[in-house]
Every structure is written in C-alpha cells, then in structure tokens.
Amino acid sequence: MTARALLLSGGPHPFEATTPLLARILESAGLEVDLTDVPDDAGRRLGSGGVDVLVCNTLRWRMRAARYDDQRAEHAYAMPADTAAALDGWVRGGGRLLALHGAPVCFDDWPGWGDLLGARWNWERSSHPARGPFTVHVAAPSHPLVAGLADFEIDDECYGFLDHTIAIDALLTGTHGGTAHPLLWEHRPGRGHVVVSLLGHDAESFTHPTHAEILRRAAAHLLRAHPPKDELCRNP
C-alpha cells in the first residue's frame, strides 16, 4: 500500500508557490499527498488514521505584535487543547513528522510543539538576515540525509538563535551573527520520528536541486526508519 502524507500549509508566506513544489518532491519519494491549510483538520485526520507522514509547510501563530495588525484576521491561530493533544499523541505514539522552515515559529501558545521539534522561535532573540544567498555546510557527512553531498549555496533565510529543547546534532548548518546555526536535524520524541529543516522560504529554495534531494531523502528516511505499526503496539 502506498504511504500517505498529510501536508499542512497556509499562513503569511508564499505557500501558494512552495506547497505544490513540496508536494511533487514528496510524490517523487513515493508518497501520496493530501493537503490541508487548517491545523484543527490535521489533528482530526491524524486521529482517524491513514496518515503515514505529517508534513508542516506552514506559518501559523497568534501574531500578537502590532506589526501584524493587517494580517491577524486572516492568518492568526491559537492552538486548541484537543488539537495539541492529537498532534502530540500521534507523534509520540509513533508518528513521523517532517517540519519545514517556519515550523518553530508555529503554535506559539503550545510549548509542547517546540518539544516535538527540538527547537522553538524566541521572539526576543531568534532572527534571520534578509533572504539572500548564503552557504549551507554539511555538518554530518555520514548521515543518510546528507551523505555524499557537498556544501552548497542557496537563496533562502538562515534562521538562527532559536531556543533548543534538545541537544541538536546538526546535519546542516548556516552562519549568521557570527554563529553557526543548525538548519537540519532529526529528533525522536517518544516512539516518534521528526526531521526538521529550516530551509524553504520560497519557490527558489524548493527548486534548488540539493535542497530538493535532501527533502526527498528526509521523506524516505522517515518511512524507512519507522518500525511496523504492530511492533509499535507491542512496545511499552
């Protein structure tokens, strides 16, 4: 049976361009892709089964700062307790999550989201330079997500100075503010498996051949490294 991905999109970024590109990358990794732009719908669908990988290419948070006044009505989102419980239970119970770019910004009223990802955006100190070219360094050349790949240049946003909730073993890094920041890592909360890539601001990032290859590998890696569902049920 073909594995299925649920791709959560939407928010104040060019997702109308990036989400179709990402869907094609996931399909090239052998996944059937369903789309939603409603986090609560994603929570319900995870609970009903039939989702093998949840992919977050979205940017949804409460947008409380005054500079977001003109966007708040369309894009602001507060996480209901039942949706948070559904996401947390699904991932920790053995679900697979691929979280991209703005994911650490999302769901800012739910600390557990940062615990699932291994990092969260800190509005007092997290930052990125203006979108532009920078060098991405391969930090763990033996890891299957980046094995055989060389350092590469990409036009994107280099996120940094996040609050890390785990000790991150970076697979890719980028430098700004005089510091090398992790841009790609994996995390295993509970019985779950999470891959986080902070790249992916716009369409140019998703059409970069090395970035697209890393995302294909990430999707395949999440599927391949995951134990069968019946084995998960036997685990304490």
Provide the percentage of residues in the chain whose pLDDT is more than 70.
95
pLDDT in tens, 24-62: 999 999 999 999 999 999 999 998 889 999 999 999 999
Residues belonging to the chain: 236
pLDDT in tens, 125-156: 999 999 999 999 999 999 999 999 999 999 99
Using DSSP bridges, classify how beta strands 119-120 and 152-156 pair: parallel, antiparallel or unpaired.
unpaired
Q: How far is CA 192 from CA 52, 71, 93, 208, in A?
A: 11, 34, 6, 29
- Quote the tokens at residue 157: 């946003």
- Quote the tokens at residue 219: 């999707």
pLDDT in tens, 96-124: 999 999 999 999 999 999 999 999 999 99
Cβ-contact 202, 18 below 8 angstroms: yes
- Quote the tokens at residue 71: 């966007």
* pLDDT of the residue at 231: 35
* pLDDT of the residue at 49: 86
Give dist(CA 231, CA 131) in Å, integer: 44
